Amino acid sequence: MPHRIANPVPDPELLARAKGRGALSNADGRFEPYAHVRESDGWDREEDLPPLRTTVSVEVPRKVITRNSSPDIGFDRSINPYRGCEHGCIYCFARPTHAYLGLSPGLDFETKLIARPEAPRRLAKELSAKAYRVAPIAIGTNTDPYQPIEKSRRIMRGCLEVLSEFRHPVTIATKGTLIERDADLLGEMGQAGLAKVGISVTTLDATLSRRLEPLVPAPARRLKAIEALAKAGCPVRVMVSPVIPGLTDTEVEAILQSARDAGAVAASWIMLRLPLEVSGLFVDWLRAHYPDRASKVMSRLREMHGGKEYSAEWHRRMRGEGVYAELIGKRFDLACSRLGLDVALPPLRRDLFRVPPRPGDQLSLF
**Per-residue pLDDT tens digits for 156-177:** 999 999 999 999 999 999 999 9
d(CA 101, CA 99): 5
pLDDT given for residue 62 in this prediction: 93
pLDDT given for residue 2 in this prediction: 37
Q: Categorize the per-residue pLDDT at 48 as very low, low, confident or very high, splitting at 50, 70 and 90.
A: low
Contact 298, 283 (CB under 8 A): yes
Q: What would the mean pLDDT of 239-266 be, rounded to a whole number?
A: 98
Residue ranges and CATH numbers for the domains of the chain are 12-34+55-339 (3.80.30.30)
Nearest to 141 by CA among 243, 218, 66, 214: 66
Which range has the worst mean pLDDT, 31-45, 140-154, 272-286, 337-351?
A: 31-45
**Per-residue pLDDT tens digits for 81-121:** 999 999 999 999 999 999 999 999 999 999 999 999 999 99
Nearest to 199 by CA among 256, 274, 272, 119: 256
Letter for the amino acid at 92? C
pLDDT at 5 over 70: no
pLDDT given for residue 1 in this prediction: 35
Contact 186, 232 (CB under 8 A): yes
Cis ω for the linkage preceding 356 (within 30 of 0)? no
d(CA 267, CA 17): 38
